[in-house]
Amino acid sequence: MQIIIVGGGNVGATLAERLSQEKHNISVIDTRNEVLSRICDNVDVMGIVGNGASYAVQKEAGIEEADLLIAVTNSDELNMLCCLIARKAGGCQTIARVRNPVYSREISFIKEELGLSMVINPEDEAAMEIARVLKFPSALEIDTFAKGRVELVKYQIEGASALCGQSLKAISAKMKCDVLVSTVERGEEVFIPDGNFVLREKDEISIMGSTKNIVLFFKKLEVPTTRANNVFIVGGGETAYYLSKHLLSIGVDVKIVEKNKQRCNELCELLPEAMIICGDGTDRDLLLEEGLPQAESFVALTNFDEENILLSLFARSISKAKLITRIHRIAFDEIIEELNLGSVVYPKYITAESIIKYVRGMQNSIGSNIETLYQLHNDRVEALEFIVRQKSPVVDIPLQELHLKPNLLLCCINHRGQIITPGGQSRLKVGDTVVIVTTVKGLDDISDILKD
Domain residue limits, the chain: 2-120, 143-220, 230-345, 355-449
State the pLDDT at residue 254. 97
Reduced to 3 states, what is the DSSP secondary structure of residue 44? coil
Looking at domain 2-120, does it have CATH number 3.40.50.720?
A: yes
pLDDT tens for each residue of 10-56: 889 989 998 998 889 999 999 999 999 999 998 999 999 999 999 99
State the pLDDT at residue 367. 52
Residue 106's pLDDT band, with cuts at 50, 70 and 90, is confident
* CA 386/CA 370 separation, integer angstroms: 5
Residue 265's pLDDT band, with cuts at 50, 70 and 90, is very high
Residue 101's pLDDT band, with cuts at 50, 70 and 90, is confident
pLDDT higher than threshold 90 for residue 130: yes
Residue 364's pLDDT band, with cuts at 50, 70 and 90, is low
State the pLDDT at residue 443. 86
Find the angle CA(140)-CA(144)-CA(148) to the nearest 5 degrees.
135
Residue 334's pLDDT band, with cuts at 50, 70 and 90, is low
pLDDT higher than threshold 70 for residue 178: yes
- Mean pLDDT for all residues in the chain: 90
pTM of the model: 0.83
CATH number of 143-220: 3.30.70.1450
State the pLDDT at residue 331. 62
Identical fold between 2-120 and 143-220: no
User: For residues 153 and 182, is the Cβ–Cβ distance under 8 A?
Assistant: no
Q: Which tops the pLDDT comparison, 114 or 274?
A: 274
Residue 326's pLDDT band, with cuts at 50, 70 and 90, is very high
Residue 287's pLDDT band, with cuts at 50, 70 and 90, is very high
State the pLDDT at residue 152. 94
Strands (E), 133-229: 141-145, 150-156, 180-186, 189-191, 204-210
* CA 5/CA 28 separation, integer angstroms: 5
Residue 372's pLDDT band, with cuts at 50, 70 and 90, is confident
State the pLDDT at residue 368. 55
State the pLDDT at residue 187. 86
pLDDT higher than threshold 80 for residue 330: no
Could you tell me whether strands 381-388 and 368-376 are parallel, antiparallel, or unpaired per DSSP bridges? Answer: antiparallel
Fold of 355-449: Alpha-Beta Plaits (3.30.70)
- Average pLDDT on 84-109 reads 89
Residues in Cβ contact with 265 at an 8 Å cutoff, skipping those fewer than 6 apart: none
How far is Cα of residue 269 from the mean position of the Cα atoms in its chain?
A: 29
Name the residue among 274, 277, 280 with its Cα closest to residue 252. 274
* CA 5/CA 445 separation, integer angstroms: 25
Residue 34 vs residues 30, 38, 304, 316, 412: alpha-carbon distances, Å: 10, 6, 21, 38, 46
Residue 148 vs residues 140, 210, 211, 420: alpha-carbon distances, Å: 18, 9, 8, 14
State the pLDDT at residue 83. 96
Percent of the chain having pLDDT more than 90?
A: 64
Percent of the chain having pLDDT more than 70?
A: 98
230-345: CATH homologous superfamily?
NAD(P)-binding Rossmann-like Domain (3.40.50.720)
Residue 153's pLDDT band, with cuts at 50, 70 and 90, is very high
State the pLDDT at residue 393. 86
